[in-house]
Amino acid sequence: MRVISIITAILVVVGLYMFVFERESLLDFAQTSSPAAPTEDEAAKTDTDTGDVEEQSDSDFVRVVAMTSTATNVDSAVILRGRTEAARDVTVAAETSGLVVSEPIAKGTFVDAGDLLCELDPGTRQASLAEARARLAEAQGRVPEAEAAVAEANARLREANINVENARQLNARGVSSETQLVSMEAMAEAALAGLQRSQSGIASAEAGIEAAEAAVAAAEAEIDRLTITAPFSGLLETDTAELGSLMQPGTPCATILQLDPIKLVGFVPELDRNKVRLGAPAGAKLTSGEEITGTVTFISRSADDTTRTFRVEVDVANPGQQISAGQTAEIVIASDGRDAHLVPQSALTLDDAGTLGVRTLQDGNVVQFMPVTLLRDTVDGVWLTDLPEQVDIITVGQEFVVDGVTVIPSFEELKG
């Protein structure tokens, strides 16, 4: 143990001596024993040779799976979630007051246009109508009297005018005095005033007739309001008013629905607004599984303030009244066909700006991102537009490459 310590101390002393007093000799010995460093030209040549080897190696390229897709013309249908609505939904109400004297009709009953729904007690309305008609007859009887008075006034006026003319001739020959002429002219003026009064009597009689006719019409209309009928053919949604109940103006008699045709109502997003046309064929599938068809009859010109969607209505024939209002329906509206590509949904990706698209292969297998528009989603894949008629689309590995990168593709076809 002591011998080892002595040897260690000797070695340390020799090392310190060589490091302090023989440093230059030690450095020269170290450089002579190490291999010479390559020059800059040799290093450059070595890098070039290595690069050539790398360019020739396929292992340095990204391998991807791609498919060659050719555009196909597909129907560009607009799919909406909607509901059924009655073509008409009206609550028939009373226009006058009175007690109901008709038996009620049960809800669910089909009624035709003009069928009686509610009938009210007439009360004294028939007497009011008779009084109005009597006043009309009285007013009509005054017209002949007024006409006779006008004829008499005309005769007096003609006689007075003749007397005035005779008085003027006599006065001109000096046979009659000026006083007689003035008297005749005054009588003529009085006859003219009488004619005017008689003519105003006719106008008054005619006005009385018009007032009496208006009173008769009002009394008849009031009686007509006692009978409440169906404005159109349809189903009663509620019972009609009960026998003996008191109706006031505005009191509901019954609610009636017109279900043939029935309306399909949906709301189309503003991006698809221009795809929907009036008269376009449409179909729908109800929650019951029933499938129905119709045509677009209405497209709203103003969007909903909250949802920014446009109301669309489709008329569907419903002769058996089997389709009820308020059923949920998936509506499909046909639109013009467009050229599109069917690709796997997994092929979709986003660029740095968040734009939806796919990565494609250009000349030399160079990657290029292309934005797309999603037309339809199916179980076999997604239909995309805004692509060339024929294009190579990367389906596997698109997330590991960027624009301008050269890749080694393996092609496969999309299987349905």
Give the integer Cα–Cα distance in Å for 121 and 246: 10
Residue 51: its pLDDT value, please?
46
Instruction: Kindly state the DSSP code that residue 406 receives in the 8-state scheme.
Output: B
Burial class (CB in 10 A: 0-12, 13-18, 19+), 407: buried
Q: Judge if 88 and 99 occupy the same domain.
A: yes
Residue 416: its pLDDT value, please?
44
Could you tell me if residue 258 is inside a domain? yes
| Cβ atoms 142, 205 nearer than 8 A | yes
Give me the residue label for tokens 């969607």.
309
Residue 37: its pLDDT value, please?
47
3-state secondary structure of 328: strand
Residue 246: its pLDDT value, please?
94
Could you tell me if residue 310 is inside a domain? yes
Residue 53: its pLDDT value, please?
39
Could you tell me if residue 105 is inside a domain? yes
Q: What is the CATH number of the domain that holds 220?
A: 1.10.287.620
Q: What is the domain extent for residue 362?
A: 62-76+338-411
Q: Judge if 141 and 219 occupy the same domain.
A: yes
Burial class (CB in 10 A: 0-12, 13-18, 19+), 126: exposed
| Cβ atoms 246, 99 nearer than 8 A | yes
Binned average pLDDT, 10 residues per bin, the chain of 416 residues: 67 65 59 48 47 50 90 82 93 95 94 94 92 88 75 78 75 70 75 76 81 91 94 94 94 94 93 87 90 93 91 92 90 84 92 92 92 85 90 91 90 61
Task: Return the closest-CA partner of residue 254 out of 122, 102, 85, 125.
Answer: 102
Give the number of other CB atoms < 10 A from CB of residue 282. Answer: 26
Q: What is the CATH number of the domain that holds 273?
A: 2.40.30.170
Which helix or strand (DSSP H or E) is residue 64 part of? strand 62-70
Structure tokens, 306:
């909250």
Residue 156: its pLDDT value, please?
79
Q: Judge if 104 and 249 occupy the same domain.
A: yes
Burial class (CB in 10 A: 0-12, 13-18, 19+), 97: middle
Residue 17: its pLDDT value, please?
64
Task: Return the closest-CA partner of residue 248 out of 100, 91, 90.
Answer: 100
Could you tell me if residue 182 is inside a domain? yes
Q: Judge if 356 and 323 occupy the same domain.
A: no
Q: What is the CATH number of the domain that holds 366?
A: 2.40.420.20
Could you tell me if residue 229 is inside a domain? no
Q: How many domains does the chain have?
A: 4
| Cβ atoms 316, 263 nearer than 8 A | yes
Q: Judge if 239 and 326 occupy the same domain.
A: yes
Find residue 371's DSSP bridge partners: 357
Radius of gyration of the chain (CA): 53
Residue 265: its pLDDT value, please?
95
Residue 165: its pLDDT value, please?
76
| Cβ atoms 401, 395 nearer than 8 A | no
For 397: left if phi > 0, alpha if psi spans -120 to 50, otherwise beta; the answer is left
Could you tell me if residue 12 is inside a domain? yes
Give me the sign of the Cα torsion angle 139, 142, 146, 148. positive
